[in-house]
Chains A and B, each alone.
Chain A
Protein backbone atom coordinates (compact mmCIF):
# COMPACT_ATOMS: atom_id res chain seq x y z
CA UNK A 1 0.00 0.00 0.00
CA UNK A 2 1.73 3.14 -1.23
CA UNK A 3 1.29 6.13 1.05
CA UNK A 4 0.41 8.35 -1.90
CA UNK A 5 -2.56 6.25 -2.92
CA UNK A 6 -6.31 6.43 -2.34
CA UNK A 7 -6.10 3.09 -0.48
CA UNK A 8 -3.72 4.57 2.09
CA UNK A 9 -5.97 7.58 2.63
CA UNK A 10 -8.94 5.28 3.22
CA UNK A 11 -6.93 3.11 5.63
CA UNK A 12 -5.79 6.22 7.48
CA UNK A 13 -9.33 7.61 7.77
CA UNK A 14 -10.58 4.33 9.28
CA UNK A 15 -7.60 4.13 11.69
CA UNK A 16 -8.14 7.73 12.89
CA UNK A 17 -11.87 7.17 13.40
CA UNK A 18 -11.33 3.95 15.38
CA UNK A 19 -8.49 5.58 17.39
CA UNK A 20 -10.74 8.31 18.78
CA UNK A 21 -13.72 5.98 19.31
CA UNK A 22 -11.75 3.60 21.53
CA UNK A 23 -11.21 4.52 25.24
CA UNK A 24 -7.93 6.35 25.86
CA UNK A 25 -6.02 3.52 27.50
CA UNK A 26 -6.61 1.20 24.56
CA UNK A 27 -5.68 3.69 21.85
CA UNK A 28 -2.10 2.53 21.55
CA UNK A 29 -3.48 -0.90 20.60
CA UNK A 30 -5.32 0.71 17.68
CA UNK A 31 -2.03 2.23 16.51
CA UNK A 32 -0.30 -1.12 16.89
CA UNK A 33 -3.05 -2.98 14.99
CA UNK A 34 -2.95 -0.34 12.22
CA UNK A 35 0.84 -0.64 12.04
CA UNK A 36 0.65 -4.44 11.82
CA UNK A 37 -2.02 -4.23 9.10
CA UNK A 38 -0.01 -1.66 7.14
CA UNK A 39 3.16 -3.73 7.26
CA UNK A 40 1.41 -7.03 6.50
CA UNK A 41 -0.14 -5.42 3.40
CA UNK A 42 3.42 -4.83 2.25
CA UNK A 43 4.89 -8.28 2.85
CA UNK A 44 4.48 -11.16 5.30
CA UNK A 45 8.18 -12.08 5.08
CA UNK A 46 9.24 -8.51 5.85
CA UNK A 47 6.78 -8.42 8.74
CA UNK A 48 8.34 -11.57 10.20
CA UNK A 49 11.77 -10.00 10.01
CA UNK A 50 10.44 -6.82 11.64
CA UNK A 51 8.97 -8.92 14.45
CA UNK A 52 12.34 -10.62 14.89
CA UNK A 53 14.09 -7.24 15.22
CA UNK A 54 11.46 -5.98 17.64
CA UNK A 55 11.78 -9.11 19.81
CA UNK A 56 15.60 -9.09 19.75
CA UNK A 57 15.94 -5.41 20.64
CA UNK A 58 13.17 -5.65 23.26
CA UNK A 59 15.02 -8.49 24.99
CA UNK A 60 18.39 -6.79 24.64
CA UNK A 61 17.09 -3.57 26.21
CA UNK A 62 15.67 -5.50 29.15
CA UNK A 63 19.02 -7.28 29.50
CA UNK A 64 20.93 -3.99 29.48
CA UNK A 65 18.51 -2.57 32.06
CA UNK A 66 18.95 -5.65 34.27
CA UNK A 67 22.76 -5.29 34.12
CA UNK A 68 22.44 -1.66 35.21
CA UNK A 69 20.13 -2.62 38.10
CA UNK A 70 22.46 -5.38 39.30
CA UNK A 71 25.38 -2.97 39.14
CA UNK A 72 23.49 -0.52 41.34
CA UNK A 73 22.28 -3.26 43.72
CA UNK A 74 25.82 -4.51 44.24
CA UNK A 75 26.87 -0.94 45.00
CA UNK A 76 29.79 -1.00 42.60
CA UNK A 77 31.89 1.57 44.44
CA UNK A 78 35.38 0.47 43.58
CA UNK A 79 36.67 1.56 40.19
CA UNK A 80 37.76 -1.99 39.34
CA UNK A 81 34.28 -3.40 39.99
CA UNK A 82 32.67 -0.58 37.99
CA UNK A 83 34.97 -1.38 35.09
CA UNK A 84 33.86 -5.03 35.14
CA UNK A 85 30.19 -4.00 34.97
CA UNK A 86 30.90 -1.46 32.28
CA UNK A 87 32.64 -4.14 30.23
CA UNK A 88 29.65 -6.47 30.59
CA UNK A 89 27.23 -3.78 29.49
CA UNK A 90 29.48 -2.84 26.59
CA UNK A 91 29.70 -6.46 25.46
CA UNK A 92 25.93 -6.87 25.63
CA UNK A 93 25.38 -3.67 23.67
CA UNK A 94 28.03 -4.55 21.10
CA UNK A 95 26.47 -8.01 20.55
CA UNK A 96 23.02 -6.68 19.77
CA UNK A 97 24.33 -3.80 17.64
CA UNK A 98 26.46 -6.21 15.62
CA UNK A 99 23.38 -8.41 15.13
CA UNK A 100 21.25 -5.42 14.09
CA UNK A 101 23.72 -3.91 11.65
CA UNK A 102 24.98 -7.23 10.27
CA UNK A 103 21.47 -8.24 9.25
CA UNK A 104 20.93 -4.78 7.76
CA UNK A 105 24.18 -5.10 5.81
CA UNK A 106 23.29 -8.59 4.59
CA UNK A 107 19.91 -7.45 3.30
CA UNK A 108 21.37 -4.40 1.64
CA UNK A 109 24.76 -5.43 0.34
CA UNK A 110 24.99 -9.22 0.13
CA UNK A 111 24.27 -9.40 -3.60
CA UNK A 112 26.69 -6.55 -4.25
CA UNK A 113 29.41 -8.37 -2.27
CA UNK A 114 28.68 -11.58 -4.18
CA UNK A 115 29.03 -9.63 -7.43
CA UNK A 116 32.43 -8.32 -6.32
CA UNK A 117 33.47 -11.85 -5.31
CA UNK A 118 32.42 -13.11 -8.76
CA UNK A 119 34.56 -10.42 -10.41
CA UNK A 120 37.54 -11.54 -8.32
CA UNK A 121 36.87 -15.18 -9.26
CA UNK A 122 36.70 -14.23 -12.94
CA UNK A 123 39.99 -12.34 -12.67
CA UNK A 124 41.56 -15.38 -11.06
CA UNK A 125 40.39 -17.48 -14.02
CA UNK A 126 38.00 -19.62 -11.96
CA UNK A 127 34.67 -20.71 -13.38
CA UNK A 128 32.80 -20.89 -10.05
CA UNK A 129 30.24 -18.12 -9.52
CA UNK A 130 28.00 -17.17 -6.58
CA UNK A 131 24.32 -16.90 -7.45
CA UNK A 132 22.70 -13.62 -6.30
CA UNK A 133 20.20 -14.25 -3.50
CA UNK A 134 17.91 -11.34 -4.43
CA UNK A 135 16.71 -10.90 -0.87
CA UNK A 136 13.67 -8.70 -0.44
CA UNK A 137 14.78 -5.52 1.34
CA UNK A 138 12.18 -5.06 4.10
CA UNK A 139 10.35 -1.75 3.91
CA UNK A 140 12.01 0.93 6.04
CA UNK A 141 14.58 -1.53 7.45
CA UNK A 142 17.32 1.11 7.76
CA UNK A 143 15.03 3.40 9.66
CA UNK A 144 13.77 0.93 12.23
CA UNK A 145 17.25 -0.57 12.67
CA UNK A 146 18.67 2.90 13.39
CA UNK A 147 15.77 3.85 15.63
CA UNK A 148 15.92 0.69 17.76
CA UNK A 149 19.74 0.88 17.91
CA UNK A 150 19.54 4.47 19.16
CA UNK A 151 17.09 3.33 21.82
CA UNK A 152 19.46 0.53 22.91
CA UNK A 153 22.38 2.96 23.21
CA UNK A 154 20.22 5.29 25.29
CA UNK A 155 19.29 2.39 27.59
CA UNK A 156 22.99 1.48 27.83
CA UNK A 157 23.87 5.07 28.73
CA UNK A 158 21.08 5.15 31.31
CA UNK A 159 19.25 7.95 29.51
CA UNK A 160 16.02 5.95 29.26
CA UNK A 161 14.53 3.06 31.18
CA UNK A 162 13.82 0.02 29.02
CA UNK A 163 10.18 -0.44 28.02
CA UNK A 164 8.89 -3.54 29.81
CA UNK A 165 5.59 -3.86 27.96
CA UNK A 166 6.25 -5.79 24.75
CA UNK A 167 3.30 -4.41 22.79
CA UNK A 168 4.12 -0.83 23.77
CA UNK A 169 7.72 -1.34 22.70
CA UNK A 170 6.59 -2.98 19.44
CA UNK A 171 4.56 0.14 18.69
CA UNK A 172 7.61 2.37 19.20
CA UNK A 173 9.65 0.23 16.79
CA UNK A 174 6.96 -0.34 14.17
CA UNK A 175 4.70 2.76 14.30
CA UNK A 176 3.49 2.78 10.68
CA UNK A 177 3.98 6.47 9.66
CA UNK A 178 7.72 6.17 10.29
CA UNK A 179 8.12 2.88 8.42
CA UNK A 180 8.42 4.27 4.87
CA UNK A 181 11.38 6.60 5.18
CA UNK A 182 11.66 7.72 8.77
CA UNK A 183 12.13 10.08 10.46
CA UNK A 184 14.35 8.22 12.91
CA UNK A 185 12.52 9.07 16.12
CA UNK A 186 13.85 9.12 19.68
CA UNK A 187 12.23 6.96 22.34
CA UNK A 188 12.06 9.79 24.93
CA UNK A 189 10.04 12.01 22.63
CA UNK A 190 7.92 9.48 20.73
CA UNK A 191 6.93 6.85 23.27
CA UNK A 192 4.94 9.06 25.69
CA UNK A 193 2.87 10.33 22.77
CA UNK A 194 2.26 6.84 21.40
CA UNK A 195 1.05 5.20 24.58
CA UNK A 196 -0.59 8.21 26.26
CA UNK A 197 -3.89 7.99 24.38
CA UNK A 198 -4.16 11.46 22.89
CA UNK A 199 -7.25 13.68 23.12
CA UNK A 200 -8.98 14.63 19.87
CA UNK A 201 -7.97 18.11 18.75
CA UNK A 202 -9.63 19.68 15.72
CA UNK A 203 -6.63 21.98 15.25
CA UNK A 204 -4.21 19.07 15.33
CA UNK A 205 -6.25 17.19 12.73
CA UNK A 206 -6.50 20.30 10.56
CA UNK A 207 -2.73 20.86 10.72
CA UNK A 208 -2.16 17.19 9.96
CA UNK A 209 -4.38 17.30 6.87
CA UNK A 210 -2.68 20.50 5.66
CA UNK A 211 0.78 18.98 6.06
CA UNK A 212 -0.30 15.83 4.23
CA UNK A 213 -1.68 17.87 1.32
CA UNK A 214 1.55 19.89 1.14
CA UNK A 215 3.65 16.73 1.16
CA UNK A 216 1.50 15.05 -1.48
CA UNK A 217 1.67 18.08 -3.75
CA UNK A 218 5.47 18.13 -3.54
CA UNK A 219 5.61 14.44 -4.35
CA UNK A 220 2.98 14.31 -7.11
CA UNK A 221 3.62 17.60 -8.88
CA UNK A 222 7.39 17.86 -8.67
CA UNK A 223 9.12 14.63 -7.64
CA UNK A 224 7.04 12.21 -9.74
CA UNK A 225 7.06 14.54 -12.75
CA UNK A 226 10.83 14.79 -12.66
CA UNK A 227 11.68 11.17 -11.83
CA UNK A 228 11.37 9.63 -15.35
CA UNK A 229 13.15 12.56 -17.04
CA UNK A 230 16.05 12.49 -14.59
CA UNK A 231 16.29 8.70 -14.96
CA UNK A 232 16.38 9.08 -18.76
CA UNK A 233 19.44 11.36 -18.63
CA UNK A 234 21.29 9.29 -16.01
CA UNK A 235 20.56 6.04 -17.89
CA UNK A 236 21.65 7.42 -21.30
CA UNK A 237 24.04 10.19 -20.33
CA UNK A 238 26.32 9.59 -23.33
CA UNK A 239 23.53 10.82 -25.59
CA UNK A 240 23.28 14.19 -23.84
CA UNK A 241 25.46 17.27 -23.74
CA UNK A 242 27.12 18.44 -20.53
CA UNK A 243 24.57 21.23 -20.21
CA UNK A 244 21.63 18.81 -20.24
CA UNK A 245 23.42 16.52 -17.78
CA UNK A 246 23.97 19.45 -15.42
CA UNK A 247 20.32 20.47 -15.78
CA UNK A 248 19.25 16.89 -15.00
CA UNK A 249 21.42 16.77 -11.87
CA UNK A 250 20.01 20.11 -10.68
CA UNK A 251 16.51 18.78 -11.35
CA UNK A 252 17.44 15.63 -9.45
CA UNK A 253 18.27 17.79 -6.41
CA UNK A 254 14.75 19.21 -6.64
CA UNK A 255 13.22 15.77 -7.24
CA UNK A 256 15.01 14.19 -4.28
CA UNK A 257 14.08 17.03 -1.93
CA UNK A 258 10.41 16.92 -2.95
CA UNK A 259 10.33 13.13 -2.81
CA UNK A 260 11.98 12.78 0.59
CA UNK A 261 10.63 15.88 2.32
CA UNK A 262 7.22 15.45 0.64
CA UNK A 263 7.00 11.90 1.94
CA UNK A 264 8.13 13.04 5.37
CA UNK A 265 5.49 15.80 5.42
CA UNK A 266 2.88 13.25 4.45
CA UNK A 267 3.72 10.82 7.23
CA UNK A 268 4.26 13.56 9.82
CA UNK A 269 0.85 14.92 8.87
CA UNK A 270 -0.68 11.44 9.10
CA UNK A 271 0.88 11.06 12.54
CA UNK A 272 -0.52 14.43 13.66
CA UNK A 273 -4.01 13.08 12.99
CA UNK A 274 -3.41 10.79 15.99
CA UNK A 275 -1.93 13.66 18.01
CA UNK A 276 1.59 12.23 17.63
CA UNK A 277 4.28 14.75 16.64
CA UNK A 278 7.23 13.09 14.90
CA UNK A 279 10.67 14.60 14.58
CA UNK A 280 11.28 17.28 11.94
CA UNK A 281 13.45 15.96 9.09
CA UNK A 282 14.02 18.92 6.75
CA UNK A 283 14.46 22.65 7.31
CA UNK A 284 14.79 24.16 3.83
CA UNK A 285 18.24 22.68 3.15
CA UNK A 286 18.86 24.56 -0.11
CA UNK A 287 18.92 27.82 1.85
CA UNK A 288 22.03 26.64 3.74
CA UNK A 289 25.13 28.85 3.66
CA UNK A 290 27.66 26.06 4.19
CA UNK A 291 27.82 22.31 3.59
CA UNK A 292 27.91 21.82 7.37
CA UNK A 293 24.67 23.80 7.68
CA UNK A 294 23.16 21.88 4.76
CA UNK A 295 23.60 18.67 6.71
CA UNK A 296 21.95 20.23 9.76
CA UNK A 297 18.93 20.98 7.57
CA UNK A 298 18.81 17.81 5.41
CA UNK A 299 17.62 14.50 6.87
CA UNK A 300 17.90 16.00 10.34
CA UNK A 301 16.95 12.84 12.21
CA UNK A 302 19.79 10.86 10.58
CA UNK A 303 22.23 13.74 11.22
CA UNK A 304 21.23 13.88 14.89
CA UNK A 305 21.53 10.11 15.14
CA UNK A 306 25.00 10.15 13.60
CA UNK A 307 26.06 13.03 15.85
CA UNK A 308 24.91 11.47 19.14
CA UNK A 309 25.77 7.84 18.49
CA UNK A 310 28.79 7.97 16.18
CA UNK A 311 30.41 11.40 15.88
CA UNK A 312 30.60 12.27 19.59
CA UNK A 313 31.77 8.82 20.75
CA UNK A 314 34.42 8.81 18.01
CA UNK A 315 35.58 12.38 18.61
CA UNK A 316 35.85 11.77 22.32
CA UNK A 317 37.50 8.38 22.03
CA UNK A 318 40.88 8.05 23.70
CA UNK A 319 42.54 6.58 20.61
CA UNK A 320 41.57 9.42 18.31
CA UNK A 321 42.53 12.05 20.86
CA UNK A 322 45.91 10.38 21.33
CA UNK A 323 46.36 10.52 17.57
CA UNK A 324 45.43 14.22 17.57
CA UNK A 325 48.02 14.94 20.25
CA UNK A 326 50.68 12.90 18.50
CA UNK A 327 50.07 14.85 15.30
CA UNK A 328 50.47 18.26 16.93
CA UNK A 329 54.28 18.39 16.78
CA UNK A 330 54.16 17.25 13.14
CA UNK A 331 51.36 19.38 11.68
CA UNK A 332 51.28 22.19 14.21
CA UNK A 333 48.98 22.84 17.17
CA UNK A 334 46.04 24.15 15.17
CA UNK A 335 45.87 21.33 12.63
CA UNK A 336 46.58 18.81 15.37
CA UNK A 337 43.59 20.15 17.28
CA UNK A 338 41.42 19.85 14.18
CA UNK A 339 42.57 16.31 13.40
CA UNK A 340 40.02 14.78 15.78
CA UNK A 341 36.88 16.51 14.39
CA UNK A 342 38.14 16.13 10.81
CA UNK A 343 38.76 12.38 11.07
CA UNK A 344 35.46 11.90 12.95
CA UNK A 345 33.59 13.86 10.28
CA UNK A 346 35.15 11.80 7.51
CA UNK A 347 34.20 8.55 9.24
CA UNK A 348 30.64 9.74 9.86
CA UNK A 349 30.14 10.75 6.24
CA UNK A 350 31.76 7.57 5.02
CA UNK A 351 29.05 5.77 6.99
CA UNK A 352 26.37 8.06 5.52
CA UNK A 353 27.66 7.08 2.08
CA UNK A 354 27.68 3.38 2.92
CA UNK A 355 24.16 3.74 4.34
CA UNK A 356 23.01 5.16 0.99
CA UNK A 357 23.90 1.94 -0.77
CA UNK A 358 26.69 -0.33 -2.00
CA UNK A 359 29.37 0.72 -4.45
CA UNK A 360 32.26 3.13 -4.63
CA UNK A 361 30.10 6.02 -5.81
CA UNK A 362 28.30 6.14 -2.47
CA UNK A 363 31.62 6.04 -0.63
CA UNK A 364 32.81 8.89 -2.87
CA UNK A 365 29.61 10.78 -2.06
CA UNK A 366 30.25 10.42 1.67
CA UNK A 367 33.89 11.40 1.39
CA UNK A 368 33.01 14.39 -0.81
CA UNK A 369 30.73 15.78 1.91
CA UNK A 370 32.98 14.88 4.83
CA UNK A 371 36.01 16.21 2.95
CA UNK A 372 34.33 19.53 2.21
CA UNK A 373 33.39 20.00 5.84
CA UNK A 374 36.88 19.13 7.04
CA UNK A 375 38.39 21.48 4.48
CA UNK A 376 36.09 24.28 5.63
CA UNK A 377 37.30 23.81 9.20
CA UNK A 378 40.96 23.84 8.17
CA UNK A 379 40.60 26.81 5.83
CA UNK A 380 38.44 28.88 8.20
CA UNK A 381 41.14 31.35 9.39
CA UNK A 382 42.47 31.81 5.84
CA UNK A 383 39.03 32.51 4.43
CA UNK A 384 38.27 34.93 7.30
CA UNK A 385 41.50 36.78 6.58
CA UNK A 386 40.72 36.91 2.87
CA UNK A 387 37.27 38.32 3.53
CA UNK A 388 38.77 40.94 5.83
CA UNK A 389 41.31 41.98 3.19
CA UNK A 390 38.65 42.23 0.52
CA UNK A 391 36.43 44.14 2.92
CA UNK A 392 33.56 41.67 2.59
CA UNK A 393 31.24 41.85 5.57
CA UNK A 394 30.11 38.47 6.86
CA UNK A 395 26.50 39.54 7.07
CA UNK A 396 26.13 41.43 3.79
CA UNK A 397 23.15 40.31 1.76
CA UNK A 398 24.98 39.58 -1.49
CA UNK A 399 27.69 37.63 0.31
CA UNK A 400 25.06 35.41 1.88
CA UNK A 401 23.46 34.87 -1.55
CA UNK A 402 26.86 33.83 -2.92
CA UNK A 403 27.30 31.46 0.03
CA UNK A 404 23.92 29.82 -0.65
CA UNK A 405 24.73 29.47 -4.37
CA UNK A 406 28.18 28.04 -3.63
CA UNK A 407 26.74 25.51 -1.16
CA UNK A 408 24.10 24.44 -3.68
CA UNK A 409 26.77 23.99 -6.37
CA UNK A 410 28.79 21.75 -4.03
CA UNK A 411 25.68 19.72 -3.20
CA UNK A 412 24.96 19.33 -6.93
CA UNK A 413 28.44 17.86 -7.50
CA UNK A 414 27.82 15.34 -4.72
CA UNK A 415 24.57 14.27 -6.38
CA UNK A 416 26.45 13.04 -9.48
CA UNK A 417 27.85 10.35 -7.19
CA UNK A 418 24.80 9.54 -5.09
CA UNK A 419 22.40 9.24 -8.04
CA UNK A 420 24.54 7.42 -10.60
CA UNK A 421 25.32 4.42 -8.41
CA UNK A 422 28.57 3.76 -10.34
CA UNK A 423 31.74 5.69 -9.61
CA UNK A 424 32.95 5.59 -13.21
CA UNK A 425 29.59 6.77 -14.49
CA UNK A 426 29.58 9.69 -12.06
CA UNK A 427 33.11 10.69 -13.11
CA UNK A 428 32.27 10.40 -16.81
CA UNK A 429 29.16 12.51 -16.32
CA UNK A 430 31.20 15.12 -14.47
CA UNK A 431 33.81 15.08 -17.22
CA UNK A 432 31.11 15.54 -19.84
CA UNK A 433 29.66 18.45 -17.88
CA UNK A 434 33.01 20.21 -17.73
CA UNK A 435 34.61 19.22 -21.04
CA UNK A 436 31.60 18.82 -23.35
CA UNK A 437 29.23 21.38 -21.93
CA UNK A 438 27.82 22.17 -25.39
CA UNK A 439 26.72 25.77 -25.15
CA UNK A 440 25.17 25.42 -28.59
CA UNK A 441 22.94 22.61 -27.37
CA UNK A 442 21.27 25.01 -24.95
CA UNK A 443 17.91 26.18 -26.16
CA UNK A 444 14.23 25.33 -26.00
CA UNK A 445 14.84 22.00 -27.74
CA UNK A 446 17.19 20.88 -24.98
CA UNK A 447 14.45 21.37 -22.37
CA UNK A 448 12.17 18.92 -24.16
CA UNK A 449 14.87 16.46 -25.16
CA UNK A 450 14.72 14.15 -22.16
CA UNK A 451 11.04 13.44 -21.67
CA UNK A 452 9.58 16.59 -20.14
CA UNK A 453 6.66 18.02 -22.13
CA UNK A 454 5.71 21.73 -22.23
CA UNK A 455 2.81 20.93 -19.85
CA UNK A 456 5.28 19.23 -17.46
CA UNK A 457 7.47 22.34 -17.50
CA UNK A 458 4.54 24.64 -16.76
CA UNK A 459 3.46 22.42 -13.83
CA UNK A 460 7.06 22.26 -12.58
CA UNK A 461 7.68 25.99 -12.84
CA UNK A 462 4.47 26.97 -11.04
CA UNK A 463 4.90 24.31 -8.33
CA UNK A 464 8.56 25.18 -7.78
CA UNK A 465 7.75 28.91 -7.62
CA UNK A 466 5.14 28.22 -4.91
CA UNK A 467 7.61 25.95 -3.07
CA UNK A 468 10.36 28.58 -3.15
CA UNK A 469 7.96 31.35 -2.05
CA UNK A 470 6.64 29.29 0.88
CA UNK A 471 10.19 28.27 1.87
CA UNK A 472 11.39 31.89 1.72
CA UNK A 473 8.54 32.95 4.02
CA UNK A 474 9.38 30.13 6.43
CA UNK A 475 13.02 31.21 6.33
CA UNK A 476 11.90 34.63 7.53
CA UNK A 477 10.18 32.94 10.46
CA UNK A 478 6.62 33.33 9.14
CA UNK A 479 4.54 30.28 10.18
CA UNK A 480 2.54 29.50 7.03
CA UNK A 481 -0.21 27.41 8.59
CA UNK A 482 -0.87 29.91 11.40
CA UNK A 483 -0.82 32.80 8.93
CA UNK A 484 -3.32 31.01 6.74
CA UNK A 485 -5.51 30.43 9.77
CA UNK A 486 -5.87 34.18 10.28
CA UNK A 487 -7.19 34.71 6.74
CA UNK A 488 -10.87 34.85 5.85
CA UNK A 489 -12.48 31.40 5.88
CA UNK A 490 -13.13 31.66 2.12
CA UNK A 491 -9.38 32.05 1.44
CA UNK A 492 -8.61 29.07 3.65
CA UNK A 493 -11.27 27.05 1.86
CA UNK A 494 -9.98 27.93 -1.61
CA UNK A 495 -6.37 27.01 -0.70
CA UNK A 496 -7.44 23.68 0.78
CA UNK A 497 -9.86 22.99 -2.08
CA UNK A 498 -7.26 23.63 -4.78
CA UNK A 499 -4.79 21.33 -3.00
CA UNK A 500 -7.32 18.53 -2.63
CA UNK A 501 -8.55 18.99 -6.19
CA UNK A 502 -5.05 18.65 -7.63
CA UNK A 503 -4.43 15.50 -5.60
CA UNK A 504 -7.82 14.10 -6.64
CA UNK A 505 -7.08 14.75 -10.32
CA UNK A 506 -3.77 12.89 -9.96
CA UNK A 507 -5.05 9.95 -7.94
CA UNK A 508 -8.20 9.41 -10.01
CA UNK A 509 -6.43 9.60 -13.38
CA UNK A 510 -4.00 7.06 -14.81
CA UNK A 511 -1.45 7.92 -12.13
CA UNK A 512 0.35 4.87 -10.80
CA UNK A 513 1.52 5.55 -7.22
CA UNK A 514 5.30 5.84 -7.43
CA UNK A 515 7.56 4.59 -4.65
CA UNK A 516 9.81 6.83 -2.60
CA UNK A 517 13.54 7.04 -3.27
CA UNK A 518 14.46 6.37 0.35
CA UNK A 519 11.94 3.60 1.07
CA UNK A 520 14.28 1.07 -0.50
CA UNK A 521 17.24 2.16 1.61
Chain B
Protein backbone atom coordinates (compact mmCIF):
# COMPACT_ATOMS: atom_id res chain seq x y z
CA UNK B 1 0.00 0.00 0.00
CA UNK B 2 2.84 2.40 0.83
CA UNK B 3 4.36 1.91 -2.59
CA UNK B 4 1.00 2.64 -4.20
CA UNK B 5 0.56 5.83 -2.15
CA UNK B 6 4.02 6.97 -3.16
CA UNK B 7 3.23 6.46 -6.85
CA UNK B 8 -0.06 8.32 -6.46
CA UNK B 9 1.67 11.20 -4.73
CA UNK B 10 4.29 11.45 -7.48
CA UNK B 11 1.84 11.22 -10.37
CA UNK B 12 -1.18 13.04 -9.05
CA UNK B 13 0.31 16.06 -7.27
CA UNK B 14 -2.17 18.26 -5.46
CA UNK B 15 -4.90 15.62 -5.48
CA UNK B 16 -6.21 14.30 -2.18
CA UNK B 17 -6.51 10.70 -3.31
CA UNK B 18 -7.28 9.44 0.19
CA UNK B 19 -10.11 11.90 0.64
CA UNK B 20 -12.55 10.32 -1.78
CA UNK B 21 -13.91 6.97 -2.89
CA UNK B 22 -15.34 8.53 -6.06
CA UNK B 23 -12.09 9.63 -7.70
CA UNK B 24 -13.29 8.74 -11.20
CA UNK B 25 -17.02 9.37 -10.78
CA UNK B 26 -16.37 12.89 -9.50
CA UNK B 27 -13.68 13.51 -12.15
CA UNK B 28 -10.98 14.08 -9.53
CA UNK B 29 -8.87 11.73 -11.63
CA UNK B 30 -9.31 12.12 -15.40
CA UNK B 31 -8.64 9.58 -18.12
CA UNK B 32 -5.26 11.27 -18.72
CA UNK B 33 -4.31 10.76 -15.05
CA UNK B 34 -5.45 7.15 -15.21
CA UNK B 35 -3.31 6.38 -18.25
CA UNK B 36 -0.16 7.85 -16.66
CA UNK B 37 -0.95 5.97 -13.46
CA UNK B 38 -1.50 2.65 -15.22
CA UNK B 39 1.92 2.86 -16.88
CA UNK B 40 3.54 3.47 -13.50
CA UNK B 41 1.58 0.73 -11.72
CA UNK B 42 2.43 -1.79 -14.44
CA UNK B 43 6.14 -1.04 -14.07
CA UNK B 44 6.22 -0.79 -10.28
CA UNK B 45 4.16 -3.89 -9.47
CA UNK B 46 4.96 -6.06 -12.50
CA UNK B 47 1.30 -6.32 -13.48
CA UNK B 48 -0.46 -5.89 -16.79
CA UNK B 49 -3.53 -3.70 -16.42
CA UNK B 50 -5.64 -4.08 -19.55
CA UNK B 51 -8.40 -2.03 -21.15
CA UNK B 52 -10.95 -4.33 -19.51
CA UNK B 53 -9.64 -3.28 -16.08
CA UNK B 54 -10.15 0.41 -16.86
CA UNK B 55 -13.53 0.76 -15.22
CA UNK B 56 -14.38 3.36 -12.54
CA UNK B 57 -14.79 0.66 -9.87
CA UNK B 58 -11.09 -0.18 -10.11
CA UNK B 59 -9.86 3.43 -9.77
CA UNK B 60 -12.44 5.17 -7.62
CA UNK B 61 -10.36 4.82 -4.44
CA UNK B 62 -6.86 3.91 -3.31
CA UNK B 63 -8.25 0.68 -1.82
CA UNK B 64 -9.86 -0.24 -5.15
CA UNK B 65 -6.54 0.29 -6.95
CA UNK B 66 -4.75 -1.78 -4.32
CA UNK B 67 -7.32 -4.58 -4.71
CA UNK B 68 -6.87 -4.51 -8.48
CA UNK B 69 -3.09 -4.81 -8.18
CA UNK B 70 -3.44 -7.72 -5.73
CA UNK B 71 -5.96 -9.43 -8.04
CA UNK B 72 -3.51 -9.17 -10.93
CA UNK B 73 -0.78 -10.72 -8.82
CA UNK B 74 1.20 -7.55 -8.18
CA UNK B 75 4.49 -7.84 -6.35
Contacts and interface: CB of A to CB of B under 8 A. Distances in A.
Nearest to B32: A341
B51 A316 contact: yes
Contact of B35 (A158, A316, A381): A316
Contacts of B40: 337
B14 A315 contact: no
Interface in B42-66: 42, 49-52, 54
A324 B35 CA distance: 12
Interface in A322-362: 324, 337-338, 340-341, 344-345
B30 A312 contact: no
Contacts of A296: 27, 30
Nearest to A317: B51
A337 B35 CA distance: 10
B31 to A, nearest CB: 5
Contact of B32 (A316, A373, A384, A394): A373
A316 B38 contact: yes
Nearest to B54: A312
Given A316-B50, A316-B51, A338 B14 contact: no
A292 B39 contact: no
Most chain B beta carbons < 10 A, residue from A311, A316, A321: A316
Contact of B51 (A157, A292, A340, A345): A157
Contacts of A158: 52
A307 B31 contact: yes
B36 interface: yes
B13 interface: yes
A158 B54 CA distance: 14
Contact of A344 (B14, B35, B51, B54): B35
A313 B31 contact: no
A275 B54 CA distance: 31
Contacts of B32: 292, 341, 345, 373, 377
Nearest to A344: B35
Nearest to A297: B27
A337 B36 CA distance: 7
A292 B30 contact: yes
A157 B31 CA distance: 20
Contact of B31 (A311, A321, A338): A311
Nearest to B11: A337
Contacts of B27: 293, 296
Nearest to B30: A292
Interface in A45-62: none
Contacts of B49: 316
B6 to A, nearest CB: 15
B13 A312 contact: no
Nearest to B40: A337
A381 B13 CA distance: 9
A341 B33 CA distance: 9
Contacts of A312: 31, 35, 51, 54
Given A311-B31, A316-B49, A384 B39 contact: no
Contacts of B39: 321, 324, 337, 340
Given A341-B36, A344-B35, A313 B30 contact: no
Interface string A294-319: 00100000000001100111011000
B35 A340 contact: yes
A316 B31 CA distance: 12
Contacts of A338: 36
23 contacts: A296-B27, A296-B30, A307-B31, A311-B31, A312-B35, A312-B51, A312-B54, A313-B51, A316-B35, A316-B38, A316-B51, A321-B42, A337-B36, A337-B40, A338-B36, A340-B35, A340-B36, A340-B39, A341-B36, A373-B32, A381-B13, A384-B14, A394-B14
In the A-B complex, list the 8 residue pairs whose CB atoms are closest, starting with the nearest. A315-B35, A341-B35, A312-B51, A307-B31, A341-B32, A312-B54, A313-B51, A316-B51
Interface of B: 13-14, 27, 30-32, 35-36, 38-40, 42, 49-52, 54
Given A312-B51, A338-B36, A341-B36, 4 more contacts: A312-B54, A340-B36, A341-B32, A381-B13
